[in-house]
Structure 1
Amino acid sequence: GAPMYSHSKVLSIVPPQLAVGDVLHVVTEKHFFKPYFSNEYSNYWEIPQSTSVRDETIKIEAPVSMHLRAAQRGGWEILHTREGSKEIIHARMAIHHAEYPGMETVGERQFSPIFEVTSFPSWAAVGTAYWVRADKMADVTPLVQKVADMAAGKRAGWGAQKALFSWDSANIRYVGLELGVGGFVPIAANRTLQTGYGDCKAHSTLLQALFNAKGFKLFPVLMNWNNVYNLPPLPTPFWFNHAIDYAPKRHLFLDSTGQYETPGQLAVGERHKPALVTGPDPRIVVTPGAEPEQNHFVYTAKLRLHRDGTLSGSGEMTSRGWWAWAYREIFASVPPSHYATVMSMLLAPSGGGTGTFFPGDPTVLDKPFQVDAEWSTPDFAKVGSHLSFPVPPGPFLVPSLAATPNPISYLAEVAGPESRKRSVETYLGGLSWTSTIHIPSDYKAVFLPSNQDVHNAAGRFSYEIRYDNDVLLVHYDLKLNRVVYNPQQYPALRALLLADLSDQKSPLIFARKKEERI
């Protein structure tokens, strides 16, 4: 949600009298007057997988002393020659046909054709190039020391580190400048404290300085925030657009740009990513993946279906990890006076209704975030000789504030195709909910979905339903082991989600009991 700024210049060209059937030839020439990194050059050209291209060519001329390397994926033809002290690299894409990869796949940059040229010999060299610029910006000045002492107080160890992280998150406003556009030199930590705002590089550098002031080690990390989970063929700094931090002693990643992130638990967009840890030992690592136990949403509801078809009740929602981050952001942005309006909007698909929320404090980052809710839906079920309705699907019904507000639609999108050519992403982690529903005593159960327990390489899904003494008890548990599933892993994921989908679509059917004659 940060405001984004760029100093890029944009030139719009409108060809006169362009008509159907005309052939437009575009030649682009780039001049680099001041390199981002001295004596280094790196760039890549991507043809989006969803775009058709015919006869696209690229020519690069450079001194032999730069030791440029070239690589490609996706069908580029490369010719690398030398003429005296100059080397020339030609690349050509003869033809590329557009392809639509399907819903819920990873970003197309992950598999689009790429031609790349670089002088960086390794990813470690990229990390060093950033580190030599960033490290000196994290100096411990008197102001940095003062803020670190104030934020940490008498805490020590992890308690002090969480306090420093929370202070940075809460007091420095995030203003986004993408890496590559905003440059690769962060603002000095002392300056960020004076202005009170900064981009991801500034946040990363400030947190490093605060850690330095208290004797803790912290190193900047470069990563790609978008839904891209791989690296290009050759090392380049321009693949990255986000900076966070890495605490080596605890092997934890910290992103203080997210005002409501749990310390040590990365948000959506930062997981299962190849990331470049800078510092004295630069290297590529992979950030933590799904971690369903740490990224978990637990929902408990006590509901009553009245004889007029009204459904009323209350619920308790406890969120951890990225679920907590999402819910903290939501309830920090919605004023209490609008809770009833939000609830009414969320209840509309199931018949409308009224209710409100009772959230915890979103500024407390190191504890699970809890939200309580009360609501009533007057037209939830039609009353007659039979009652038929689906099980209220846990956190998605009240409130539908998760990243996937319609679970049936989401599962259908992910699990629809029998096979996949591209990887799919599933930011779910762990979901557990238990609903107790009191049914009118003059009805009996006629049909209930069968219990399920599916456990495979993709994760685990269990669904248990019991009905006794007019009380329906439903327990649901879904844990996905990964954020990204490749085409070979997809069948196991699909089997898991189809089991989930079948239970969510199955109605509960109750019939009115026959009156006993005297």
Structure 2
Amino acid sequence: MKKQPLQLLIASLWVCIALPSIAQTNHYLTTTLKTQPVINTVSVQTALASSEESPNTAKTQSVIENIRVDNYESSYTLNSDYTYSEMMTQRFTLLTPLGVNQGQRVAKTYYPESQSLELIEAYVIQPDGKKIEVSKDNIFTRPTPESQNAPGFSSSLTTTVVFPQLQIGSEIFVKWKLIQKTPPLLGFNIVDSPSFYAQTVKRTVKIIIPDSLELNWKHRGDYAVTAQTRNRQRIITAVIENQPARKPEAAMVSLIDVSPVFVASSLSSWEEVGKLYWQQEHSKVEVTSEIKELANKITGNKQGREAARTIYNWIAQNINYVAVYLNQNAGYVPHTSTEILNNGYGDCKDYVVLMRALLKAKGMDSYPVLVHWGAMTRKLPLWTPAQFNHAIIYLPEYNIFANPTSEYASFGMLDQDLEEQLVVIAAEESRTAHIPNTIPNQNHYSLSSTVTLLGDGTVEGESELTFIGTINSTIRQIFSGFTTPDQIADNWLAQTPEGGYGNLVVSDVNNLDQPMTLQGKWTSPLAINMGKQTYFSTPLGIDFIHLRQLRKYITSGKRLYPVFVGAMEMNWQYKIKLPQDYKVSHIPGNIDFSNDAGKYTSSYKTDGVYIVVKRHLIINKNIYSPQEYPAFKELMYKPVNDARSVMVLQKLVRGHLQKTLQVSRNRH
């Protein structure tokens, strides 16, 4: 399940969930040796041939090149009905021991109902020039993992070639032939992009098409594209050369956002993508007597928006998710609402179909919506189904987009990596839109802690954590796993300088209509060295968003790519009770800082018995460009450095202690 960038960053550090911005950057093999099922799918019209501004492809000095892409060629020959044959040739050189390991196998996926795949040849050229053919024993065709995990949703097969006797300097070569036997449901589409992680010497895409067929193409970046007509055929060739290997940055946007890309499509618009999907989907929305009975049971006496909310909650929490993203090669064909209800499971398309059927049973209109769920923030240069990997729902009467696939998100509350995304609202007359983005105070985290510092340096505390907005789905997911709340508390405390152990009381994770709250008690034994003068920073205790961890967003040197953070507002308050035999001799100064990226304030006050620390951080927007990053970096340094701010206590002599105690009694 995907999560919001900032919340998932913190969760990744404390409960072992990966950073989305890193997890969503394609794995090395996906972008080099595998055939990139999305980045190398299949669609282009010369009237729209043009180029967008080139993304930043500067090579960073610290990149270690493990594999070099010496040549990649993909040639498509189209028939009059948009069926086609594809010849693909790949040649790589293995440069390091890791490259040898990664180059051990190459794989290509196909869909046997509509495609056939043949391995033409595969071999290795050793550094001494020796050629080793790949034997049949080293070629395997198996169901893909999604086919095994989701029977009835995908029947794709993957052919894998395992290369023998590899060593540093080996060249591997493979040639495939794929035939598209039936006209693609969503037309002919290609999205091509060179590897991000490996140097690409040359990459070529060629399309041979009857001149009577419509085909659009467009590119951004360093592709050189030519088109010519010969013998009643058009030949479009896109070539990109000498692309360096690049290094990803923490919390960056999707790789495709910052890479050269060539797109070709037989479709005429984004709206046509939606119309084609609608033609596959709308007949699946069956309102049977069973569906009507279930809709009435779910909604009870509720009407309108509240009835829609209860239907959404039921779908999100009662239908099991089968994780199959939309894939244009398999078509965008969901199951019927009856099948989904009987099965009790489905993918994103099916969630939407069943919810639409239940809404229709209650007289409410809705539409399926195609969207990208992830860190791809820049639309492709030309309309293509490859823009989308997910389906959600739109309720026009209430102007609400909802994501029933996200079992932890409230009705109408979308993850931040869905915000601002281009969507196609699918219908007979489809239209495009953009999902609204939230503002910081709609995504709010608040911590209130009462802390007691004992004379031996042990710290005891009680914390209350509250969550508003999209962050709730992150918290619900964390506390819906196998790890107990007390184990999570201990994990969080283990990431603080003080350490310790604790327990948590958690509100109902299954109540999607109420924000999550946590109450925790914790102890950090002997966390502070007490002496005549005692120096300590604010004890963090049980805290979901740890200020020190914001350093993960701070990179040295110039940033090349946008950083995906997530607009948010955060408050922390600590009331620290001091040992009786100490007085405060120093507290940090207050901070009041703001710039275009956001705002950070903090204050420290003491009455001799307590020190009260208040901190407030606002991150203004989801994404900061490289040009905006210096301001964002300056903002991040404020809380990171403030978390290290030191308070100083002075141990009192007996007479001074008695006087201090008397003053304290008078005050309280």
User: By the TM > 0.5 criterion, same fold?
Assistant: yes
Q: Describe the SS at the equivalent of 1:125.
A: helix
Partner letter of residue 281 of structure 2? A
- Which of 436, 439, 448 is the aligned partner of 1:291? 439
Distance 1:247 1:343 in 2: 39
Aligned to 2:299: 152
Distance 1:20 1:508 in 2: 56
Structure 1 position 398, deviation (Å): 0.8
Aligned to 2:229: 82
Q: Describe the SS at the equivalent of 1:81.
A: strand
- Which of 439, 451, 470 is the aligned partner of 2:609? 470
Partner letter of residue 285 of structure 2? A
Aligned to 2:537: 390
Distance 1:71 1:305 in 2: 64
CA shift in 2, pair 1:76/1:436, >3 Å: same
Partner letter of residue 568 of structure 2? G
Structure 1 position 25, deviation (Å): 4.2
Structure 1 stretch 21-30 or stretch 470-479: which is displaced more?
21-30
Structure 1 position 320, deviation (Å): 1.9
Q: Describe the SS at the equivalent of 1:373.
A: strand
CA shift in 2, pair 1:495/1:280, >3 Å: farther
Structure 1 position 247, deviation (Å): 2.0
- Which of 47, 50, 57 is the aligned partner of 2:197? 50
CA shift in 2, pair 1:318/1:19, >3 Å: closer
Aligned to 1:502: 641
Alignment deviations for residues 361-409 of structure 1 (CA, whole Å, 9 cap, x no partner) = 111111111111111111221111122222234xxx4144x5xxx5423
Alignment of 1:52-451 (within 5 A): 52-180=199-327, 183-334=331-482, 338-349=484-495, 350-393=497-540, 397-400=541-544, 406-409=546-549, 411-417=550-556, 419-427=558-566, 429-451=568-590
Alignment deviations for residues 311-332 of structure 1 (CA, whole Å, 9 cap, x no partner) = 1121111112221111111222
Partner letter of residue 485 of structure 2? Y
Q: Describe the SS at the equivalent of 1:453.
A: strand
Structure 1 stretch 14-23 or stretch 372-381: which is displaced more?
14-23
Distance 1:196 1:18 in 2: 47
Distance 2:429 2:468 in 1: 32
Q: Is the 8 Å Cα contact of residues 498 and 539 (structure 2) preserved in structure 1?
A: no
Structure 1 position 119, deviation (Å): 1.1
Alignment deviations for residues 425-449 of structure 1 (CA, whole Å, 9 cap, x no partner) = 1136221121111111322223322
Q: Is the 8 Å Cα contact of residues 262 and 365 (structure 1) preserved in structure 2?
A: yes
Structure 1 stretch 256-265 or stretch 181-190: which is displaced more?
181-190
Unpaired stretches in structure 1, ≥5 consecutive residues? none
Q: Describe the SS at the equivalent of 1:10.
A: strand
CA shift in 2, pair 1:419/1:16, >3 Å: closer
Q: Is the 8 Å Cα contact of residues 485 and 506 (structure 2) preserved in structure 1?
A: no
Partner letter of residue 89 of structure 1? I
TM-score by length of 2: 0.72
Partner letter of residue 352 of structure 2? S
Aligned to 1:12: 160
Distance 2:183 2:446 in 1: 50
Root-mean-square deviation (CA, aligned residues, Å) is: 2.3
Identity value in percent:
28
Q: Describe the SS at the equivalent of 2:489.
A: helix
Q: Is the 8 Å Cα contact of residues 416 and 437 (structure 2) preserved in structure 1?
A: no
Q: Is the 8 Å Cα contact of residues 416 and 622 (structure 2) preserved in structure 1?
A: no
Q: Describe the SS at the equivalent of 1:12.
A: strand
Q: Describe the SS at the equivalent of 1:427.
A: coil
CA shift in 2, pair 1:353/1:502, >3 Å: closer
Q: Is the 8 Å Cα contact of residues 444 and 513 (structure 1) preserved in structure 2?
A: yes
Q: Is the 8 Å Cα contact of residues 583 and 608 (structure 2) preserved in structure 1?
A: no
Q: Describe the SS at the equivalent of 1:262.
A: coil
Structure 1 position 41, deviation (Å): 0.8
CA shift in 2, pair 1:74/1:29, >3 Å: farther
Partner letter of residue 649 of structure 2? F
Q: Describe the SS at the equivalent of 1:332.
A: coil
Q: Is the 8 Å Cα contact of residues 582 and 649 (structure 2) preserved in structure 1?
A: yes
Q: Describe the SS at the equivalent of 2:204.
A: strand
Aligned to 1:459: 598
Aligned to 2:15: none
Q: Is the 8 Å Cα contact of residues 261 and 321 (structure 1) preserved in structure 2?
A: no
Q: Is the 8 Å Cα contact of residues 567 and 621 (structure 2) preserved in structure 1?
A: no
Structure 1 position 281, deviation (Å): 4.7
Alignment deviations for residues 3-40 of structure 1 (CA, whole Å, 9 cap, x no partner) = 864533222223445554444444444322234426x2
Distance 2:581 2:331 in 1: 70
CA shift in 2, pair 1:282/1:67, >3 Å: same
CA shift in 2, pair 1:505/1:170, >3 Å: same
CA shift in 2, pair 1:42/1:99, >3 Å: same
Q: Describe the SS at the equivalent of 1:279.
A: coil
Q: Is the 8 Å Cα contact of residues 418 and 491 (structure 1) preserved in structure 2?
A: no
Structure 1 stretch 197-206 or stretch 341-350: which is displaced more?
341-350
Query: What is the count of residue pairs matched by the alignment?
Result: 507
Alignment deviations for residues 292-323 of structure 1 (CA, whole Å, 9 cap, x no partner) = 22221111111111111111121111112221
Q: Is the 8 Å Cα contact of residues 319 and 369 (structure 1) preserved in structure 2?
A: yes
Q: Describe the SS at the equivalent of 1:266.
A: coil
Q: Describe the SS at the equivalent of 2:553.
A: helix
Alignment deviations for residues 126-148 of structure 1 (CA, whole Å, 9 cap, x no partner) = 11111122122123222221111
Q: Describe the SS at the equivalent of 2:370.
A: strand
Partner letter of residue 272 of structure 1? E
Q: Describe the SS at the equivalent of 2:611.
A: strand
Structure 1 position 274, deviation (Å): 2.2
Q: Describe the SS at the equivalent of 1:164.
A: helix
CA shift in 2, pair 1:451/1:89, >3 Å: same
Q: Is the 8 Å Cα contact of residues 194 and 203 (structure 2) preserved in structure 1?
A: no
Distance 2:557 2:169 in 1: 40
Alignment deviations for residues 175-221 of structure 1 (CA, whole Å, 9 cap, x no partner) = 11110165301111121111110000100111122221212222111
